[in-house]
């Protein structure tokens, strides 16, 4: 049985150096992903030169480091501000890691070592499935393929981060129970996916992501079946439940996303113009990524 390691609860004392301790853990615990949060160029260089071969992402706010790492084709997660100091860095680390999962950098199966080196040093080992995303996985696994869920969150995160032509925008993606979702929606535009082969409209194929993301930015909903094939875009959800507005004060896109999950077995992912990503099931919010 797979060893369970609770989120941010398995700490390792740094006996000699952060690097030496991290290297030992990677080797002994069969770590599948290393996530580093630091602005320490010497530590990063040491990690790149001496760490066992394991996929690595560096989170840093140092612009020169970001450029250097990109030039070396090392994955970088850009921080808009320097890493937080003291114990506050732990909450920032969790947000960064959940965001990395949403962007498709991490998967449910990964065993991650998070190395933090700011004014404090910390090493945290955990399984991705034990982060705060476990609840959404358990709630949707009987309705939609989890790989499709990951791919959808990756697209949603890109939209939240990039917007459209540099300007903030939102989106609504409805997953699963596609036949009923189509019955409870109507077209705002000619369906761009009609008549296309399945291979050209699958979310799980990286070559299709850019195109599908563009259609997700259109007014209305992007409809995806439970196996990850885009069915339609630009769909207007009918029969919006206004009592949801009274309950939560949600805007139109969120109302549509919540309502369609109340009248069908679909799961909806809604990106707000402020960058927050919400998931709805059975008319209720079951997950939120962001602060607004």
Domain 134-289 coded CATH 3.40.1700.10: yes
Task: Please give the order of strands across the beta sheet that includes 185-187.
Answer: 185-187, 230-237, 221-224, 171-175, 267-271, 277-281, 284-289
Query: What pLDDT does 164 receive?
Result: 79
User: Superfamily for 18-130?
Assistant: Pyruvate kinase, C-terminal domain (3.40.1380.20)
Query: What pLDDT does 289 receive?
Result: 76
In the chain, what are the domain boundaries? Answer: 18-130, 134-289
Query: What pLDDT does 11 receive?
Result: 41
Query: What pLDDT does 9 receive?
Result: 35
Closest to 129 in 3D by CA, of 11, 28, 4, 12: 4
Residue listed under structure tokens 């995160």:
157
Query: What pLDDT does 84 receive?
Result: 75
Query: What pLDDT does 135 receive?
Result: 67
Query: What pLDDT does 14 receive?
Result: 40
Query: What pLDDT does 10 receive?
Result: 42
pLDDT tens track for 195-245: 889 889 999 898 898 899 999 999 999 999 999 999 999 999 998 776 665
Residues of the chain with pLDDT under 70: 1-16, 102-103, 130-135, 242-249, 290-292
């Amino acid at each position: 049985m797979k060893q369970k390691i609770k989120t941010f609860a398995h700490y390792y004392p740094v006996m000699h150096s952060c690097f030496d301790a991290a290297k030992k853990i990677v080797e002994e615990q069969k770590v599948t992903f290393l996530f580093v949060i630091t602005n320490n160029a010497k530590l990063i260089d040491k990690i790149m030169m001496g760490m066992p071969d394991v996929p690595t992402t560096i989170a840093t706010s140092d612009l020169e480091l970001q450029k250097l790492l990109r030039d070396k084709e090392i994955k970088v997660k850009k921080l808009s501000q320097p890493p937080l100091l003291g114990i506050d860095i732990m909450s920032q680390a969790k947000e960064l890691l959940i965001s990395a999962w949403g962007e498709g950098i991490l998967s449910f199966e990964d065993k991650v070592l998070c190395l933090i080196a700011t004014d404090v040093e910390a090493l945290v080992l955990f399984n991705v499935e034990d982060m705060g995303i476990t609840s959404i996985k358990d709630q949707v696994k009987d309705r939609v393929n989890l790989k499709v869920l990951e791919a959808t969150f990756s697209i949603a995160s890109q939209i939240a981060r990039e917007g459209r032509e540099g300007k903030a925008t939102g989106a609504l993606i409805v997953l699963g129970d596609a036949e009923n979702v189509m019955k409870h929606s109507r077209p705002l535009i000619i369906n761009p996916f009609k008549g296309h082969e399945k291979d050209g409209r699958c979310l799980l194929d990286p070559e299709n992501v850019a195109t599908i993301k563009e259609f997700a930015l259109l007014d209305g909903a992007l409809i995806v079946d439970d196996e990850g094939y885009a069915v339609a875009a630009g769909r207007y959800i009918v029969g919006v439940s206004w009592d949801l507005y009274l309950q939560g004060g949600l805007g139109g896109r969120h109302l549509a996303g919540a309502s369609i999950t109340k009248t069908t077995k679909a799961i909806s992912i809604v990106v707000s113009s402020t960058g927050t990503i919400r998931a709805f099931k059975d008319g209720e919010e079951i997950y939120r990524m962001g602060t607004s």
